[in-house]
């Protein structure tokens, strides 16, 4: 088999599956989709997703997507359900069952129990006349003309269609619930978005003896030693009560040298920047980063409501934490 033939087969798969997904647009306009959304929005418990074989793998992904976008959900294997796992379904839940044929034996077996629990049943099937479809409170037809497999046997286009419909349900519910970036971050604290939206300045800032700080009368040479020891590329300038009165950075040092100031004579009050930008504890690290970017600065002092210096952070802290 040559390269051209392999590419031809692969392109045929993409073509068949893309057409299968495109055909779902008509089903979304049917009442089944809307009814399914209503049932899940009204659900006081969780959406319990069930599916066998390849449909089970798709069901697990749909459950994970629902759960991460504001709709509590989990997957139950129908084979295990008849051996005790049905106890995981409560009267306040909704069941979402996937079966291309609509006749999957393991799901049909537990249908009477689902009915006895009197929970809404949403089905994604490829056969609206099937046993499962007829038992559904809301059925969504995800029928495909053919599988992408040359034998028209292996679940390919049908699983792609089911997955796409699951995503459509999840995103429709997300929007209806008013789900926000912050909500998403709370369920993804380990991801880049979670770090950007949940990480606070308090989690990053240097505190205590690690804060570079000198007084207004400190000699420039001694301030440079403080900056070197603390390694933040700046030092805060504070009064006797610990309140911030200014900041001295690498940029201020260059300006002092340009003005030919003697580092052994000049004092902080002569070279520091007053009215400097500050941040407060409790602020998001992303807000501090935005301030740094907009003002083209690399370090910030952290002060409390009384303007007392309580911390310091720089761009390297942001980089290490993955905020950038």
Instruction: Measure the CA–CA gap between 33 and 27, rounded to whole angstroms.
Output: 7
Which pLDDT belongs to residue 185?
57
Per-residue pLDDT at 176 exceeds 70: yes
Any residues with CB less than 8 A from the CB of 78 and at least 6 apart, and which? 50, 51, 52, 56, 104, 106, 107, 109, 110
Other Cβ atoms within 10 Å of 162 Cβ, number: 29
Instruction: Tell me what the mean pLDDT of segment 98-105 comes to.
Output: 96
Whether the predicted model's global pTM rises above the 0.85 cut: no
| Mean of pLDDT values over 12-18 | 94
Average confidence score pLDDT of the chain: 90
Q: Is the pLDDT of residue 182 over 80?
A: no
What DSSP assignment string belongs to 256-293? HHHTT--TTT-BHHHHPBSS---B-TTSBHHHHHHHHH
The fraction of the chain above a pLDDT of 70, given in percent, is: 93
Read off the pLDDT of each residue in 117-136 and give the average, rounded to a whole number: 96
Residue 192: the pLDDT is 57
Residue 189: per-residue pLDDT: 55
Which of these ranges, 102-111, 121-130, 174-183, has the smallest mean pLDDT?
A: 174-183
Q: Is the pLDDT of residue 187 over 70?
A: no
State pLDDT tens for residues 266-288. Answer: 999 999 999 999 999 998 888 88
Helix or strand (DSSP H, E) at 200: none
19-75: pLDDT as tens digits: 999 999 999 998 899 999 999 999 999 999 999 999 999 999 999 999 988 899 999
- The CB-side HSE value for 240 (13 A sphere, CA atoms) comes to 0
Tell me what pLDDT residue 175 has: 85
pLDDT computed for residue 207 by the predictor:
96
Q: Is the pLDDT confidence value at 253 over 80?
A: yes
| Beta sheet of 234-238, edge-to-edge order | 213-214, 234-238, 244-249
Cα atoms found within 13 Å of the Cα of residue 90, Cβ hemisphere only: 7
How far apart CA 194 and CA 265 sit, in angstroms, is 48
Q: What is the pLDDT of residue 194?
A: 58
Residue 119 clears pLDDT 90, i.e. is over it? yes
**Dihedral angle at the C-alpha atoms of 78, 73, 57, 33, nearest 10 degrees?**
90
* Structure tokens given for 247: 């900041």
For 164, which DSSP code? H
* Domains of the chain (ranges, CATH numbers): 3-179 (3.40.50.10490), 201-321 (3.10.580.10)
- pLDDT tier for residue 243 given thresholds of 50, 70 and 90: very high
pLDDT band at 215 (very low <50, low <70, confident <90, very high): very high
pLDDT of residue 84: 66
Residue 169: partners with Cβ closer than 8 Å, 6 or more residues away: 33, 36, 37, 40, 62, 66
What is the per-residue pLDDT for 171? 93
Q: How far is CA 141 from CA 132, 136, 266, 303, in A?
A: 12, 12, 79, 59
Q: How far is 234 from 311, CA to CA, in rounded Å?
A: 12
Calpha distance 113→151 (Å, rounded): 36
């Amino acid at each position: 088999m040559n390269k051209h033939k392999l590419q031809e087969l692969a392109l045929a798969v993409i073509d068949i599956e893309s057409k299968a997904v495109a055909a779902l647009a008509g089903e979304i306009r049917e009442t089944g989709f809307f009814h399914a959304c209503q049932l899940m929005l009204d659900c006081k418990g969780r959406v319990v997703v069930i599916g066998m074989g390849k449909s089970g793998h798709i069901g697990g992904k749909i459950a994970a997507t629902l759960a991460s976008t504001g709709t509590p959900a989990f997957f139950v294997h129908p084979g295990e359900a008849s051996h005790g796992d049905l106890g995981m379904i409560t009267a306040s839940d909704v069941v979402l069952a996937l079966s291309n044929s609509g006749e999957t034996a393991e799901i049909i077996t537990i249908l009477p129990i689902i009915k006895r629990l009197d929970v809404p049943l949403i089905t994604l099937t490829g056969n609206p006349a099937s046993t499962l479809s007829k038992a559904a409170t809301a059925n969504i037809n995800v029928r495909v003309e053919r599988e992408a497999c040359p034998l028209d046997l292996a679940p390919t286009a049908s699983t792609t269609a089911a997955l796409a419909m699951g995503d459509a349900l999840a995103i429709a519910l997300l929007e209806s619930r008013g789900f926000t970036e912050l909500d998403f971050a709370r369920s993804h604290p380990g991801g880049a978005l979670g770090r950007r939206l949940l990480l606070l300045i308090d989690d990053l800032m240097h505190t205590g003896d690690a804060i570079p700080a000198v007084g207004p009368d400190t000699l420039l040479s001694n301030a440079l030693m403080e900056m070197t020891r603390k390694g933040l590329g700046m030092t805060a300038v504070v009064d006797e009560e610990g309140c911030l009165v200014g900041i001295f950075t690498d940029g201020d040092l260059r300006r002092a040298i340009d003005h030919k100031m003697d580092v052994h004579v000049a004092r902080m009050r002569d070279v520091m920047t007053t009215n400097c930008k500050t941040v407060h504890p409790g602020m998001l690290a992303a807000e501090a980063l935005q301030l740094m970017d907009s003002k083209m600065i690399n370090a910030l002092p952290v002060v409390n409501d009384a303007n007392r210096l309580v911390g310091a952070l720089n761009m390297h802290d942001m980089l290490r934490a993955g905020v950038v």
